[in-house]
Amino acid sequence: MKAKEKKDFLDFKARQYEASSFISSDPISIPHQFSRPEDIEIIGLLVATIAWGNRLSIIKSGQKLIQILDGRPYDFVVNHRSSDLEALPPFVHRTFQLVDLKFFIRALQKIYHEGSLEDAFYHPEGLKFGIEQFRAKMFLSPHEKRSEKHISSPVKGSSAKRLNMYLRWMVRSAEKGVDFGLWSKIKASDLYCPLDVHSGRVARKLGLLSRKANDWKAAEELRESLLKLDPSDPVKYDFALFGLGVFEKF
């Protein structure tokens, strides 16, 4: 496939799959139940954090998170007391357990009291450093060592798939009714494609990625390839790569 044919093909697939009709079967359906930006930010981060495994299971767990936070994620996070955390019902999604959820709630409260969630991620040198900055701010709050595995580290080589997916949700334009476009300090051109087994397989088949491991170096290589296709919005192709991989078994 020649370069122009490849771009035309991926542009078409990106338009096809960036559609509201796919929301109901995707974890992004959970933050779409809210209109307040801070509610979207918080429940979006929590759902993105648990977004591995069966998508229906993720959505089910996301609904439980809404219930645990009394249907008001921002108010609960910002105003909760220790006694509120002690009264929380059990929660488990794979390896993410109640102890991890309590840590996230405490850490997010501290972040919001000091500024904004976008500020916690924004770094002038790019999202590799922004994600590391966010990790550092979260880990200022008391936590068990086990909880650290739920916030990926690009510096340690992780592709940070779930955080990059979350950042796509927050940053990309809401024009198509899928992503939210809530944040402006981070630009769409700064984003990295969420890299998993499906998007990685399709990217390699299309010659967009040569690295075999789905790690941060691969995420950087894929980003460079996608920037050549659209310098202002490279991660719109996440829809194409994911759709081709999951729905079309490309």
Q: Taking residues 85-112, what's their average pLDDT?
A: 97
Q: How confident is the model at residue 249 (pLDDT cuts 50, 70, 90)?
A: confident
Q: How confident is the model at residue 32 (pLDDT cuts 50, 70, 90)?
A: very high
Task: With beta carbons less than 8 A apart as the criterion, state whether 57 and 84 touch.
Answer: no
Q: Taking residues 68-90, what's their average pLDDT?
A: 97
pLDDT of residue 178: 98
Burial class (CB in 10 A: 0-12, 13-18, 19+), 76: buried
Closest CA to 185 of 167, 200, 202: 167
Q: How confident is the model at residue 9 (pLDDT cuts 50, 70, 90)?
A: very high
pLDDT, tens only, 175-207: 999 999 999 999 999 999 999 999 999 999 999
Q: How confident is the model at residue 58 (pLDDT cuts 50, 70, 90)?
A: very high
pLDDT, tens only, 236-245: 999 999 999 9
Dist CA 130 CA 91 (whole Å): 29
pLDDT of residue 1: 78
Q: How confident is the model at residue 38 (pLDDT cuts 50, 70, 90)?
A: very high
> What sections of the chain are H helices per DSSP?
3-17, 37-49, 55-68, 73-79, 82-86, 98-114, 117-121, 127-138, 161-171, 197-205, 216-229, 237-246
Q: What is the mean pLDDT of the chain?
A: 97
Residue 128: domain span: 3-246
Dist CA 118 CA 184 (whole Å): 9
Dist CA 105 CA 111 (whole Å): 10
Q: Taking residues 78-104, what's their average pLDDT?
A: 97
Closest CA to 96 of 67, 62, 124: 62
φ/ψ (deg, to 5) at 97: -120, 180
Q: Taking residues 145-155, what's their average pLDDT?
A: 97
Q: Taking residues 99-111, what's their average pLDDT?
A: 98
pLDDT of residue 37: 98
Count how many domains the chain has.
Answer: 1
Q: Which residues are CB-contacts of 173 (< 8 A; sequence separation ≥ 6)?
A: 179, 181, 188
pLDDT of residue 2: 86
pTM comes to 0.96
Q: Taking residues 28-35, what's their average pLDDT?
A: 98
Share of the chain above pLDDT 90, in %: 95
Task: With beta carbons less than 8 A apart as the criterion, state whether 93 and 115 touch.
Answer: no
Which is it for strands 92-93 and 96-97: parallel, antiparallel or unpaired? antiparallel
Q: Which residues are CB-contacts of 9 (< 8 A; sequence separation ≥ 6)?
A: 1
Residue positions counted in the chain: 250
